[in-house]
Amino acid sequence: MSDTPLTKAAEATPPTVARKIRGLSDRAIAWIFVGPTIFLLLAINIFPLIWTINLSFTNYRANRTNRAVEYIGTRNYERILNDSDIWLSMQATAHFLIWTIIFQVLIGFTLAWLINRKFKGNDLWTTIIVLPMMLSPAVVGNFWTFLYQPQIGLFNYVIAFFTGADPSSFQMLGSVDLAPWSIVIVDTWMWTPFVMLICLAGLRSIPDYIYEAAEVDRASKLRQFFTITIPMVLPFLMLAVLFRGIENFKMFDLVVQLTGGGPGSTTEVASINLKREAFEKWRTGYASAFAIILFVTVFGLASIYVKALNKVKER
């Protein structure tokens, strides 16, 4: 008998267990392997979802567990969907989501396109560019708070250098007009490398012979870019937008660290509002309904997006 790892494992299996396994069908063995994963999925994902849906129809408060829980129908949903504060937080989320995705896609694709050209120090530059992505959002939020300081912050001095304005004349985090842009800048700084990496993978997957054929056909560089590069990178780009879109819809840590939702509630994105309802006001039923609204929105968007991605891949 050969001394392979498989035979070693077979020898190490106790005879009683081996006898039991030998009597099982392939399907049963497959279920034994898949079972724990399905159980964990049900326990960690599906059960909390169903429980949240259930709570969203109640007036349950997690800090008053002795109080009787009443089913109040769709009242939580009606209140949320008529609440102008939550409407404002949705608008803040939309501003953050739209601008971060636009900037990250534009800058990320441009960087990937530049990095894809072969030049000296290419790998070093890639490593330097992807560094922000590896940092914790709490750390990034913390040091950008210092960079945005009107008195000592480097950001204000850089802006002052280019515009000639007084560095202490504006506050990125304290101004109602600038605070939404300050979180867009930080998220773009942190996550553009992620979009760049995905675009780079797309660019490197384009075979050289396609460009060579285009050269033979005397296609200009601009035409090659729009008829070869863009269409072939599009599925990758869409994947990056999907990932960043879902992530930014739920953005919490970075915004909490930078502005805490302020000044006032200018940067209070949906997840911060949700956290306040759930763990500061302790309106668990209400917060559950809010979470379900966000979940359905993200799920709907992701469904459309996956469909679009499959269509692009088929082309």
What distance in Å separates the CA atoms of residue 181 and residue 168, rounded to the nearest whole number? 18
Site for another protein in 66-95 (CB under 8 A): 77, 81-82, 84, 87, 90-91, 93-94
Confirm or reject binding of residue 296 to another protein (CB under 8 A): yes
Confirm or reject binding of residue 312 to another protein (CB under 8 A): no
What distance in Å separates the CA atoms of residue 41 and residue 56, rounded to the nearest whole number? 22
Rounded to the nearest whole angstrom, what is the least distance from the CB of residue 116 to another protein in the complex? 33
**Whether residue 15 has a cis bond before it, omega within 30° of 0:** no
Contact string (CB under 8 A) for another protein, positions 106-145, x = contact:
----------------------------------------
Confirm or reject binding of residue 49 to another protein (CB under 8 A): no
Contact string (CB under 8 A) for another protein, positions 90-109, x = contact:
xx-xx---------------
Confirm or reject binding of residue 307 to another protein (CB under 8 A): yes
The count of chain residues that interact with another protein, using the rule CB under 8 A, is: 18
Rounded to the nearest whole angstrom, what is the least distance from the CB of residue 21 to another protein in the complex? 37
Confirm or reject binding of residue 301 to another protein (CB under 8 A): yes
Burial class (CB in 10 A: 0-12, 13-18, 19+), 30: exposed
What distance in Å separates the CA atoms of residue 13 and residue 7, rounded to the nearest whole number? 10
Quick one: which of 114, 146, 303, 313 contacts another protein (CB under 8 A)?
303
Q: Which residues bind another protein (CB under 8 A)?
A: 77, 81-82, 84, 87, 90-91, 93-94, 293, 296-297, 299-301, 303-304, 307
